Amino acid sequence: MDPKTQELYQALVENLDHLVKVYRSLLEIVRKEKDILVSAKLDDLNENNKAKDAMLVRIRSLENARLKLARDLAQAVGGDVEAPRLLDIATRVDLERAQRLRNLHSVLDLLVKRVSEVNKQNEELVKSALSSITGAMEAIRDTLQEKPTYARKGQMASAPNESGALVRKEV
């Protein structure tokens, strides 16, 4: 591997290592978010959301750099420059470097899946909480509305019937 290709490979591996660290941090944040949602601590949730947003911005930045580095390395090793994939690049480098790329790929893939799973669980918790809150608000609204059962609705339809039937004559 020529020095330029070696440099590109090293830069890509460093970028992937950073991505792994950031995704691990994001996984911890979404797990913490789940605990916060269960305990209903809104102040902690706001702080956690800020941390999550910061991690997502960092991931976006690292992903853009990773894509550029992967394109450059794919071009250097004769891979697909339009849609560079780590596993494709791994088939075009020596065994030791290929193994490192495959390991990083599998770790990142697993982390992304876990983050996605926990995030979906959190989404279900939020939906459930919103449903409960909506139900409680509707119940409160219903108790505050006038009850139609006791409201005046009209007048008597006709005069009482004058012809009555005598049931008993005893006093």
Confidence tier at 15 by pLDDT (50, 70, 90): very high
The candidate with the shortest Cα–Cα distance to 123, out of 34, 45, 39, is: 34
pLDDT at position 130: 81
68 located within any domain: yes
**What's the domain range around 75?**
3-145
Q: Which two tokens stand for residue 97?
A: 């470097």
137 located within any domain: yes
Mean pLDDT of 137-162: 65
Question: In 10 A of CB 77, how many CB atoms?
Answer: 19
159 located within any domain: no
Residue 4 gets the label, from left (phi > 0), alpha (psi -120 to 50) or beta, of alpha
- Tell me: pLDDT of 151 over 80: no
128 located within any domain: yes
40 located within any domain: yes
pLDDT at position 24: 97
Q: Which long-range contacts (CB under 8 A, 24 or more apart) does 65-74 make?
A: 65/15, 66/12, 66/15, 66/16, 66/19, 69/8, 69/11, 69/12, 69/15, 70/12, 72/8, 73/5, 73/8, 73/9, 73/12
pTM given for the model: 0.74
Tally of structural domains, the chain: 1
168 located within any domain: no
- Tell me: pLDDT of 57 over 90: yes
Q: Which two tokens stand for residue 45?
A: 């949730």
166 located within any domain: no
pLDDT at position 154: 59
Domain at 113, CATH number: 1.20.58
38 located within any domain: yes
